[in-house]
């Protein structure tokens, strides 16, 4: 990590001051970010462009940081244009976008029924561009410097959490929702999700390079992340992390055993939830995770929105009403009603959002494409199963998988890309070949 801090010190400092520039004058932050992007473009630093993009997405989760929300739709176009330039210089690789081609077509057709077709098209376009661009950037970095970039991204994520802890200790604005930490994120659940995907990223990097962290360093990293999750009070994120580690162990025994257990978990969810609540009570964590005798559901605040979403789905069951219709509907026609029922935020469920926007046909195409992709990966990389289980569980309580310009989907796409293209053995072989070529060139 010392070499990372030394190499990226100026970039990290620049990223740290962006929110302060935003407080002074939002266009000043935007202009400074644009200068950083131009510099990274000129240096042809895929790594820096990725870090800049990812941190912008992190900042955009906080509505008080204006420049990030404004600039991220422009930034994804910049990233796509850069990816197109990279593509001309790269060797062939497996693209994950082809697995979602049917979904892209169905989602485009659904836009024709949208009451907000222009806004919907913008969201649709950003989704498609992310699925096209991020794999290209990921493969380019892997071909250039093996796993160094992904290790650096893990360090960036770790520093983000350190900043959140510092804010928790010294600034009251970093805490909300009854004492829950949100830090640089817009809400505590966003911070919890970030912790989950940072865990997944770290474990995937360690899968490909077991020597990266010692056991002590590894568990110090994971232990720190778990502390942050506890401070955020994100129940779904904590359970998702537990699901990952439990099923990672079961998958080592047998992927079939893992699948049977996850099927049983889904079938007996209520009973498992009761056991989980009892476990939290044993650890004296029920208050921390907002579980009372009258509220023993992990999705208690979301049930209102889910019920209304299901009723609205009946009006466009098969094809949906286009991308972003869920936000238009929640924050428009029924916003006053939801507020009167003490509900805040959107639908909070990826599957209902995909169904609302793209119908059951679109939902089936997306989930089918994802499962097909994971099955293709699993022929060589078994750890993808627990990654999928954790991600899908989190998606039941949050909309991250139905979105694109957020700091979670981008890491999920990185993980899918590396596991689709390389097994650990293949990656080691390619790394050795690259090192030999570098020595010959020298």
**The tokens of 199 are what?**
């865990």
Q: Which of 64, 89, 114 is the last residue of a domain?
A: 89
Note whether 203 and 313 are same-domain residues. Answer: yes
Q: Which of 37, 57, 89 is the last residue of a domain?
A: 89
Note whether 74 and 174 are same-domain residues. Answer: no
Note whether 82 and 97 are same-domain residues. Answer: no
Note whether 81 and 164 are same-domain residues. Answer: no
Which DSSP category does 285 fall into? -
Residue 322: phi, psi to the nearest 5? 95, 155
Beta bridge partners of 181: 175
Which H helix or E strand runs over 176?
strand 175-176
Distance, in Å, from the CA atom of 14 to the CA atom of 373, rounded to the nearest integer, reads 37
Which H helix or E strand runs over 180?
strand 180-181
pLDDT digits (tens, 9 = 90+) for 24-59: 999 999 999 999 999 999 999 999 999 999 999 999
Range in 32-41, 409-418, 425-434 with the lowest mean pLDDT: 425-434
Residue 306 has pLDDT above 90, yes or no: no
Range in 71-80, 190-199, 276-285, 365-374 with the lowest mean pLDDT: 276-285
If DSSP codes are grouped into helix, strand and coil, which group holds residue 416? helix
Note whether 299 and 153 are same-domain residues. Answer: yes
Contact 185, 232 (CB under 8 A): no
Residue 378 has pLDDT above 90, yes or no: yes
Of 186 and 430, the one with more pLDDT:
186
Residue 262 has pLDDT above 90, yes or no: no
Distance, in Å, from the CA atom of 129 to the CA atom of 78, rounded to the nearest integer, reads 10
Note whether 82 and 107 are same-domain residues. Answer: no
Q: Which of 89, 109, 127 is the last residue of a domain?
A: 89
End-to-end CA distance of the chain: 27
Which DSSP category does 175 fall into? E
Note whether 129 and 160 are same-domain residues. Answer: yes
Which H helix or E strand runs over 42?
helix 26-42
Note whether 102 and 51 are same-domain residues. Answer: no
Distance, in Å, from the CA atom of 286 to the CA atom of 236, rounded to the nearest integer, reads 14
CB contact set of 70 (below 8 Å; sequence gap of 6+): 26, 30
Confidence at 144, pLDDT banded by 50, 70, 90:
confident
Confidence at 185, pLDDT banded by 50, 70, 90:
very high
Q: Domain total for the chain? A: 2
Distance, in Å, from the CA atom of 235 to the CA atom of 290, rounded to the nearest integer, reads 9
Distance, in Å, from the CA atom of 139 to the CA atom of 273, rounded to the nearest integer, reads 39
In the prediction, which pLDDT does 260 show? 86
Contact 205, 154 (CB under 8 A): yes
Distance, in Å, from the CA atom of 45 to the CA atom of 32, rounded to the nearest integer, reads 17
Residue 79: phi, psi to the nearest 5? -60, -40
Q: At what angle do helices 148-170 and 9-24 cross, to 10 degrees?
A: 40
Q: How many CB atoms lie within 10 A of CB 194?
A: 30
Confidence at 426, pLDDT banded by 50, 70, 90:
confident
Note whether 214 and 286 are same-domain residues. Answer: yes
Note whether 58 and 94 are same-domain residues. Answer: no
In the prediction, which pLDDT does 440 show? 43
Q: At what angle do helices 9-24 and 26-42 cross, to 10 degrees?
A: 160
Contact 246, 204 (CB under 8 A): no
Note whether 84 and 217 are same-domain residues. Answer: no
Residue 441 has pLDDT above 50, yes or no: no
Note whether 170 and 293 are same-domain residues. Answer: yes
Domain enclosing residue 344, as ranges: 90-441
């Amino acid at each position: 990590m010392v070499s990372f801090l030394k190499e990226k010190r100026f970039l990290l400092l620049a990223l740290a001051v962006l929110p302060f520039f935003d407080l002074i004058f939002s266009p000043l932050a935007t202009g400074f970010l644009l200068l950083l992007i131009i510099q990274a473009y000129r240096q042809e630093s895929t790594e820096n462009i990725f870090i800049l993009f990812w941190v912008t997405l992190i900042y955009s989760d906080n509505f008080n940081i204006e420049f990030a929300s404004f600039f991220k739709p422009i930034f994804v176009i910049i990233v796509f244009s850069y990816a197109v330039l990279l593509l001309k210089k790269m060797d062939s690789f497996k693209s994950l976008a082809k697995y979602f081609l049917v979904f892209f077509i169905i989602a485009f057709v659904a836009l024709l029924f949208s009451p907000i077709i222009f806004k919907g098209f913008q969201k649709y376009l950003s989704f498609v561009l992310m699925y096209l661009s991020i794999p290209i950037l990921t493969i380019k970095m892997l071909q250039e410097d093996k796993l160094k970039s992904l290790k650096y991204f893990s360090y960036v994520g770790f520093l983000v959490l350190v900043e959140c802890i510092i804010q928790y200790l010294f600034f009251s604005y970093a805490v909300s929702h009854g004492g829950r930490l949100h830090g640089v994120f817009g809400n505590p659940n966003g911070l919890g999700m970030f912790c989950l995907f940072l865990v997944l990223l770290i474990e995937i990097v360690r899968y490909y390079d077991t020597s990266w962290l010692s056991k002590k360093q590894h568990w110090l990293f994971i232990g720190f992340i778990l502390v942050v999750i506890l401070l955020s009070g994100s129940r779904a994120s904590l359970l998702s992390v537990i699901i990952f580690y439990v099923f990672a162990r079961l998958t080592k025994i047998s992927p079939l055993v893992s699948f049977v257990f996850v099927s049983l978990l889904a079938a007996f969810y209520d009973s498992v939830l009761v056991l989980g609540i009892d476990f939290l009570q044993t650890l004296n964590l029920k208050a921390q995770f907002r579980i009372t005798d009258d509220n023993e559901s992990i999705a208690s605040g979301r049930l209102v929105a889910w019920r209304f979403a299901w009723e609205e789905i009946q009006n466009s069951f098969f094809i949906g009403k286009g991308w972003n219709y869920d936000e238009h509907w929640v924050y428009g026609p029924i916003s006053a009603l939801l507020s009167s029922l003490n509900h805040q935020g959107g639908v909070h469920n990826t599957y209902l959002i995909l169904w609302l926007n793209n119908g059951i046909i679109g939902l089936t195409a997306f989930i089918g494409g994802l499962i097909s992709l994971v099955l293709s990966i699993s022929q060589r990389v078994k750890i993808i199963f627990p990654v999928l289980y954790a991600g899908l569980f989190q998606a039941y309580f949050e909309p991250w998988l139905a979105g694109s310009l957020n700091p979670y989907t981008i890491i999920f796409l990185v993980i899918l890309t590396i596991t689709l293209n390389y097994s650990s053995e293949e990656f080691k072989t390619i790394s050795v070949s690259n090192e030999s070529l570098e020595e010959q060139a020298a």
